[in-house]
Structure 1
Amino acid sequence: MPGALPLTVAAGIAAGALVPVAAMAEDFRFSAVKIEGNKRIEPATILAYAKVAKGQTVSGDQLNDAYQRLVGSGLFETVDLVPQGGTLVIRVKEYPMVGVVAFEGNRVLKDDAIAKSVKTKPNHVFSPAQVEADANLIAEGYTQAGRINVRVDPKVIRRGDGRVDVAFEIKEGYTSEVHRISFTGNRSYSDFTLRQALSTKQAGILHRLIQSDNFVPDRLEQDKQNLIDFYQSRGYPDAKVTGISSDMARARDGYFVTFNIEEGQQYKFGNITTVSEVPDLNVDEFAPLAKIKTGSVYTPTAIDLAITRMEQLALKKGANFVRVDPRVTRDPATQTLNVQFALVRGPRIFVERIDIKGNTTTLDSVIRREFRTDEGDPFNPREIRNSADRIRALGFFSKADVNTKPGTNPDQVVVDVNVEEQPTGSLTLGASYGAASGFGVLVGVQEDNFLGRGQSLGVQIGTTADNQQSSIDFVEPYFLGRDVKARMHLWYDTTSNDNADYNTRIQGLQPSVEFPVAENSRLEARYAYGKKKLFGVTDYTAASGTTPASGSSPVLSYEQSLGERTASSVGYTYTWDTMTTNLDPRYGYTFKFGQDYYGLGGDVDAISTTALLAAQRKVMHESVRLRAELEGGVITPRSGSDLTILDRFSGYGKVRGFESHGWGPRDVGAPNGDALGGQYFWALRTETEFPIGLPEEYGITGGLFWDTGALWGVSSSERALAMGLDDSDKMHIRSAVGFSFFWRSALGPLRIDFSKAIKKETYDKEQNFDLTISTKF
């Protein structure tokens, strides 16, 4: 093309400008393409981006497109396209290689954490656009940490020889706290109650000592859903959050957050019916599975559970592709929701396969066992969602996404599981204090996903002034591939002068299996073998002259003479628990009943039976929590077997207001006045926890409690050995009242109890004050 002016396409990336090429009417035909300036990038790669073929007619617009593709590749700092007669010259200047990537000024986030988030890496091609994107990623990381005033400035240092160093200069700024969280439109629940449902917390005046929380904008969206879930679970199906405002404080050191709420009306369940549109299914078998009482407060969880139960029954009957369609109609006049569960035939779709990605440590089988659907089974969307929830609940993954996509055939789907592993092991260093036990330390190692098999392995060693405890626990949650939890527990405990004039050593092992027997109940079967030794008992010495008598009860001396005793037992515990599964979050119940049969070898031949009934309920718009526990136990020797104080109940922790070994049968005739423990006990503990007017961000609440109970019963042989039981082995009721302070402190949960025994015996030992605090690092 003689006489044609050269067409030059230049990329002004370095200057931050892009010079577009004006469209030209002239066409070109190149017999050759010459590439200049490339050092690392192969000519074939450049030609592949340019897509300019030899011998073909090329317009000006097409040359512009070639330029855009070369610039868009991110490989070149400048690009020139120069037609020279029948030859197209492509001149490029490659981006340099990155040498060092450095981070400066960062203290809150460490270098390693930031380096993992950015994509600019040493020995990679330098990209200005990527560096800017990485600066934004770093700033986003600080925003998630509550430092929204962060500033990140990338600096590029040219070193020659086609290399550059990249430094991110970080000015972290200060932490932006949430000064106040308030609500508008909430009539049924107080601000205090609603704040408990949020993951965002507000900082108080003493936030540096008590509690501080950062302002994270992304967290507010999650809190919006938390509020909706809170209201819907309490019967407000129309509740919504119409807006969230976050206003910066005048001092620019924090935010005031306001949630605007429309509660709507509270609804209760009305008529609950079940119909079947599948001829082979008898509706009378499915209707009882709804388990929703007319007049109970509406909650979507109740509907979901009813659907799950009905669909599971349909599968057991071999009725595949059956779906349960909840048809809800509302009656505003009575504020009730009528629900009709319709059994319908769904589309015939099968699960082609389940693909699992991202699990670098956890075995595929650990994830697959959370699915109740296998490859080739009918596709049930609800069951897939439930499986996703179970995978997330494992706690092994920071992210667990379960999605479906079309399979190879129209009637098939593929289930995609994408997970990201997170650490599942922990080293625990703990400290505690109790008025009865004194200061203590705890060291523990816990791995919740041992060898990626979903097993749990834990080792703990704890000590206080008078007690030393160590244990090893191993748990297989899916023994033999079923919902059976197999556990091996080993322990070694010693005590010395724990409010008693003797020492003890107890060691043993206990294998057990636990499995479900109903929706909210499980049964544990166990075997235990252990050794118990009582020693350090002070022998009785009669008074002589001016020297008073001294020593322990002859009962304890006799039990010490028995030496180390072995105990072999089988037992079980039945547990019925709605504390975590109850549909109504305002209340829950727990019932436990267990028995252990000693005498399968060993020195102890007895039957031990214990039972516990616990309940809790939130009242006064859930601002006050009521708790009550009733428990009891009996251990009965068989075949004339001896029981020692290590076998009998001590009463410790069963009634507040008394020391360890401070109440129950006692040999008051012995100089040491030793507690002997009892074969029977019962205890009733009641407690209320409520706000005391302090800002809730302090985490301080108050409580009142009343405990009562009895511990009694020793054998006739022990009664004969004792120097002065009087009637202390009979059932004497003790009672104590008190008030408590609860503090969710930065060091850990702290509890202070002040108690007063209002019914006691003269020989009892009171404990009017107790402080308990524990923390883990």
Structure 2
Amino acid sequence: MLWGTNAGKSCGGCRSRTKMLYRQVSAISLAVALGFAFAPTFAEAQNYQFNSVQVEGNQRIQTSTIVAYTGIERGKTVSAGQLNDAYQRILDSGVFETVELVPRGNTLIIKVTEFATISQISFEGNRRLKDEDLLGLVESAPRRVFNPSVAERDAANIAEAYGAQGRLASRVTPRIIRRSDNRVDLVFEISEGDTTEVERVSFVGNRVYSDRRLRRVVETKQAGLLRALIKSDTLIEDRIEFDKQVLRDFYLSRGYVDFRVNSANAEVTSERDAFFLVVDVTEGQQFKFGQISVSSEISEADSDTFFDALRVKPGVIYTPLLVENSIERLETLAIRQGIDFLRVEPRISRNDRDLTLDIEFVLVRGPRLFVERIDIEGNTTTLDRVIRQRFKTVEGDPFNPREIRESAERIRALGFFATAEVDVREGSSPSQVVVDVDVEEQPTGSLNLGGAYSVDDGFGVAIGLTENNFLGRGQRLSFNISTAQDSEEYVFGFTEPHLLGRDLRFSLDLGVSETDSSFSEYDTKRAFITPSLSFKTGENTLLQVRYLWDRDEMVSRGDDSNGDPLAGPVVRNEIGQGELSSSSVGFTYTYDSRITGLDPNAGFLVQLGADYAGLGGDNEYVKTTAKLIAQKLVFNEEVTLRATFEAGALSWLSNDSSRSIDRYILSTNVMRGFEPGGIGPRDQSAIGTTTSNYDDFLGGNYYAVAKFDAEFPLGLPEEYGMRGGLFYDIGNLWDLSNANTTGGTIVGEGGSFRQTIGFSLLWTTGFGPLRFNFSKAIKKESYDKEQSFDLTIQARF
């Protein structure tokens, strides 16, 4: 019963809902029908046809120009989408602040508001960067249309420039000041902020090299008490990226082929006024060269001959530089043998068990490409030939990519250009290439003002005028004046690095000098001229041949207050010879193993020289010198060990006697712990019947000195530039053959070896290198003149 009642009620509700649904369907059908009926009329409302176009609000821009921006033709049907495109084209022109398109029947009205014109640009709040420097960073310019987006870019560029100086908190806000006639003044308000210092640079993961050693590698330095003298203690992103690369190069050159920089994170201090830079590294294992071999895929290239040309040996610590040098050596040998297009492919096999890398240098035939021409652009001052001299390749030669890369480095090394880019592109045919050189000139002249101090010569001033690219010819012209308390020198110099277009350096120096040393009882005057030629005789060797003409004399200082001569009888004999001239030829041969040495932490330098005087002039002699320097870095390259040996011999051939200024006199640069002339033969003749004696140093015909140095860190931050040193010197100066010793009382002619020990403080400052030497002679003669302290300062600014 209950179910039936409910069923009846339900059926009545169903009829009611059916009537409602019928009414809704009828309404929807009517709407759809009306929609179809009026659809053509709606579509036609979105198309336009304009017989005229009116522009309102333009002041500087011509109406025809704005109409041209729209691209709308009179009388032609335009859709709503095309009208929107016209609006966008006008807006994209960048000269209007607002744009509005209003269709009115057959007329299109364009309403615009032009951007104002910039009257002037100014900067406020800048002290570190000058206005002229900032103007070079902005795109906005006076008499141009002001564009807000461009001004924002300008502000970002200025902020980036401050960030490059470590001022990461700098803020730049562009403001406009409206003037009459739709003009504005653009003002960049600058808040420079403080420099963001790097309080500490630390490394994680380094086991072989200490933090102190790695800090010497990277450019980013820690801030310290002397931060005013350094500019590398600010946090700069580009510098950090550079530091990552130099760390890779440092480890890779020492055989750590798996080295990588995992991260370099800058963490702000709790005071938020500085950063901690933490560099996470993985060093890996050190590899050495294993088996070295050469194989040839070219019939005319004998692998044994090329193998004999290699210098790298098994067991040497691996470095990519030695591989590059070996490839260059083999390709150079191929050129000498007339084998064109030979390329060397190094194939490396890794042996993880014994930590070695086997290198097979494979000689293959490269692509047959020729250099069609070398195009040089941007050199407004430098002559083309100066740049072409950096290339060993000329037009028509086989193309060698390695030689082109090395030529680019030689061009940059000239120092004549701010930028120098060398690119290669295809020439007139696939078998030819064109080398493009694009350079940007920079100033090459300099005026150097400097000061100097030494215990030997006192305070002095140095003035130098130098032009390294004289008349764009790549020649060096210089004039230097050096004046000290006890000496003066004026020298003119000229250098032609490529005489007659060859790798032959010609130099000419001429000058005059005077000395008034407090260590001698006479003055000297000298005039000289010396031309020389220098050229490489091998990969590591250089030969210089020279001619020297000089005229010099010893000048008496007169008598003392008692009427006695200041100089002893031997020196007076030499003064009595007056002006004498010498005409000599000589050479210096230099071998430097550091250029292509197998050990980056060790090397030695050998110099041998000889001069013969007798080609005219008053004097005739043979003078020979020798120098040997060996150096090695130990204890993670933090300690430098250096041994130096110097020797010289004078064989006097003239009928006249030699003078003190002709013989060797040891300065403090040669033998530490003694005054200049402090060791060697001396004249100690008595003065009349008094107890006073003369005490003149006379020099010697022979000398030999050995010096041993150890330089080490003092535990101070590396950026302070302070290092310590210990040294031991042993040397001798003897013999007065061919000297006129009449009337003199000579001591020390036979000579004896003196010995000195000492401590050095080496300080590299913003004013120049300072060296403090504290020494003690542990073996000497009673007549020697000690000098327990020596300070040398040389500054250029």
> What TM-score results when the alignment is normalised by the length of structure 2?
0.89
Counterpart of 1:347, as a letter, is: P
SS in structure 2 at match of 1:631: strand
Partner of 1:12: none
Q: Structure 1 residue 713 and structure 2 residue 729: aligned?
A: no
Partner of 2:318: 298
Q: Which runs of 5+ in 1 are unaligned?
A: 1-22, 542-546
Counterpart of 1:701, as a letter, is: R
SS in structure 1 at match of 2:696: coil
Counterpart of 2:666, as a letter, is: G
User: Structure 1 residues 448 and 548, CA, compared in 2 at 3 Å: closer, same or farther?
Assistant: closer
Partner of 2:343: 323
- Which among 91, 107, 111 is matched to residue 71 of structure 1? 91
Q: Distance in 2 between matches of 1:436 and 1:754?
A: 15
User: Structure 1 residues 722 and 590, CA, compared in 2 at 3 Å: closer, same or farther?
Assistant: farther
Q: Structure 1 residue 145 and structure 2 residue 165: aligned?
A: yes
- Which among 668, 675, 692 is matched to residue 714 of structure 2? 692
**8 Å contact from structure 1 (residues 540, 552) kept in 2:** no
**8 Å contact from structure 2 (residues 583, 615) kept in 1:** yes
Counterpart of 2:369, as a letter, is: I
Partner of 2:556: 536
Alpha-carbon displacement from aligned partner over 1:93-118 (angstroms, at most 9, x marks no partner): 43333222111111111122222222
Range moving further from structure 2, 23-32 or 270-279:
23-32
**8 Å contact from structure 2 (residues 216, 718) kept in 1:** no
Q: Distance in 1 between matches of 2:472 and 2:64?
A: 45
SS in structure 2 at match of 1:145: coil
- Which among 553, 566, 585 is matched to residue 570 of structure 1? 585
**8 Å contact from structure 2 (residues 652, 738) kept in 1:** no
SS in structure 2 at match of 1:718: coil
User: Structure 1 residues 690 and 60, CA, compared in 2 at 3 Å: closer, same or farther?
Assistant: same
SS in structure 2 at match of 1:291: coil
Partner of 2:536: 516
Partner of 1:701: 723
Q: Structure 1 residue 172 and structure 2 residue 172: aligned?
A: no
Alpha-carbon displacement from aligned partner over 1:463-510 (angstroms, at most 9, x marks no partner): 221111222222222222221111111222111133111101112111
Superposition deviation, residue 669 in structure 1: 1.8
**8 Å contact from structure 1 (residues 273, 287) kept in 2:** yes
User: Structure 1 residues 399 and 673, CA, compared in 2 at 3 Å: closer, same or farther?
Assistant: same
Q: Structure 1 residue 455 and structure 2 residue 475: aligned?
A: yes
**8 Å contact from structure 1 (residues 567, 603) kept in 2:** yes
Q: Distance in 1 between matches of 2:417 and 2:392?
A: 20
Partner of 1:654: 670
Q: Distance in 2 between matches of 1:677 and 1:63?
A: 100
Q: Distance in 1 between matches of 2:306 and 2:649?
A: 42
Q: Structure 1 residue 416 and structure 2 residue 436: aligned?
A: yes
**8 Å contact from structure 2 (residues 375, 436) kept in 1:** yes
User: Structure 1 residues 124 and 569, CA, compared in 2 at 3 Å: closer, same or farther?
Assistant: farther
Partner of 2:120: 100
Partner of 2:684: 668
**8 Å contact from structure 1 (residues 358, 421) kept in 2:** yes
Q: Structure 1 residue 619 and structure 2 residue 634: aligned?
A: yes
- Which among 644, 660, 664 is matched to residue 629 of structure 1? 644
- Which among 724, 729, 732 is matched to residue 752 of structure 2? 732
Larger radius of gyration: 2
Q: For 1:286-365, list aligned pairs within 5 A.
A: 286-365=306-385
Q: Distance in 1 between matches of 2:501 and 2:123?
A: 49
CA RMSD after TM alignment = 2.4
Superposition deviation, residue 716 in structure 1: 4.2
**8 Å contact from structure 2 (residues 543, 587) kept in 1:** yes
Q: Distance in 2 between matches of 1:294 and 1:470?
A: 53
Counterpart of 1:442, as a letter, is: A
Q: Distance in 1 between matches of 2:759 and 2:214?
A: 26
User: Structure 1 residues 381 and 76, CA, compared in 2 at 3 Å: closer, same or farther?
Assistant: farther
Q: Distance in 1 between matches of 2:118 and 2:479?
A: 46
Superposition deviation, residue 51 in structure 1: 3.9
User: Structure 1 residues 406 and 59, CA, compared in 2 at 3 Å: closer, same or farther?
Assistant: farther
- Which among 252, 276, 283 is matched to residue 263 of structure 1? 283
Counterpart of 1:691, as a letter, is: P
Q: Structure 1 residue 434 and structure 2 residue 454: aligned?
A: yes
Superposition deviation, residue 722 in structure 1: 4.6
Superposition deviation, residue 284 in structure 1: 2.4
**8 Å contact from structure 1 (residues 270, 337) kept in 2:** yes
Superposition deviation, residue 57 in structure 1: 4.7
**8 Å contact from structure 1 (residues 33, 88) kept in 2:** yes
Partner of 1:14: none
**8 Å contact from structure 1 (residues 461, 471) kept in 2:** yes
User: Structure 1 residues 345 and 157, CA, compared in 2 at 3 Å: closer, same or farther?
Assistant: same
Counterpart of 1:667, as a letter, is: D
Q: Structure 1 residue 748 and structure 2 residue 768: aligned?
A: yes
Superposition deviation, residue 457 in structure 1: 2.1
Question: Percent of aligned pairs with the same residue?
Answer: 48
SS in structure 2 at match of 1:518: coil
Counterpart of 2:736, as a letter, is: V
Counterpart of 2:680, as a letter, is: G
Superposition deviation, residue 32 in structure 1: 5.4
Q: For 1:190-339, list aligned pairs within 5 A.
A: 190-208=210-228, 213-339=233-359
Q: Distance in 1 between matches of 2:443 and 2:72?
A: 51
User: Structure 1 residues 205 and 139, CA, compared in 2 at 3 Å: closer, same or farther?
Assistant: same
User: Structure 1 residues 578 and 96, CA, compared in 2 at 3 Å: closer, same or farther?
Assistant: farther
User: Structure 1 residues 537 and 676, CA, compared in 2 at 3 Å: closer, same or farther?
Assistant: farther
**8 Å contact from structure 1 (residues 747, 775) kept in 2:** yes
Superposition deviation, residue 31 in structure 1: 5.3
Alpha-carbon displacement from aligned partner over 1:631-678 (angstroms, at most 9, x marks no partner): 111121114243222211111121100001211111122533100111
Alpha-carbon displacement from aligned partner over 1:429-483 (angstroms, at most 9, x marks no partner): 2122222222222222222223333222222212221111222222222222221
Partner of 1:3: none
User: Structure 1 residues 651 and 259, CA, compared in 2 at 3 Å: closer, same or farther?
Assistant: same
Alpha-carbon displacement from aligned partner over 1:214-262 (angstroms, at most 9, x marks no partner): 2211101011000000001111111111110011222222211111111
**8 Å contact from structure 1 (residues 606, 641) kept in 2:** no
User: Structure 1 residues 607 and 85, CA, compared in 2 at 3 Å: closer, same or farther?
Assistant: farther
User: Structure 1 residues 84 and 523, CA, compared in 2 at 3 Å: closer, same or farther?
Assistant: farther
User: Structure 1 residues 232 and 501, CA, compared in 2 at 3 Å: closer, same or farther?
Assistant: same
Q: Structure 1 residue 723 and structure 2 residue 740: aligned?
A: no
Q: Distance in 2 between matches of 1:457 and 1:343?
A: 45
Counterpart of 2:694, as a letter, is: N
> What TM-score results when the alignment is normalised by the length of structure 1?
0.91
Counterpart of 1:703, as a letter, is: G
Q: Distance in 2 between matches of 1:32 and 1:317?
A: 82
User: Structure 1 residues 209 and 57, CA, compared in 2 at 3 Å: closer, same or farther?
Assistant: same
Partner of 1:602: 617
Range moving further from structure 2, 622-631 or 447-456:
447-456
Partner of 1:587: 602
Counterpart of 1:331, as a letter, is: N
**8 Å contact from structure 1 (residues 366, 453) kept in 2:** yes
User: Structure 1 residues 125 and 754, CA, compared in 2 at 3 Å: closer, same or farther?
Assistant: same
Alpha-carbon displacement from aligned partner over 1:192-221 (angstroms, at most 9, x marks no partner): 111111111112244347886222111010
Range moving further from structure 2, 32-41 or 750-759:
32-41
Q: Which runs of 5+ in 2 are unaligned?
A: 1-42, 687-692
**8 Å contact from structure 1 (residues 537, 556) kept in 2:** no
**8 Å contact from structure 1 (residues 74, 127) kept in 2:** yes
Q: For 1:83-94, list aligned pairs within 5 A.
A: 83-86=103-106, 88-94=108-114
Partner of 2:26: none
Q: Structure 1 residue 556 and structure 2 residue 577: aligned?
A: no
Q: Distance in 1 between matches of 2:662 and 2:738?
A: 16
Superposition deviation, residue 187 in structure 1: 1.0
Partner of 1:13: none
Partner of 1:382: 402
Alpha-carbon displacement from aligned partner over 1:306-329 (angstroms, at most 9, x marks no partner): 111212222333332221111011
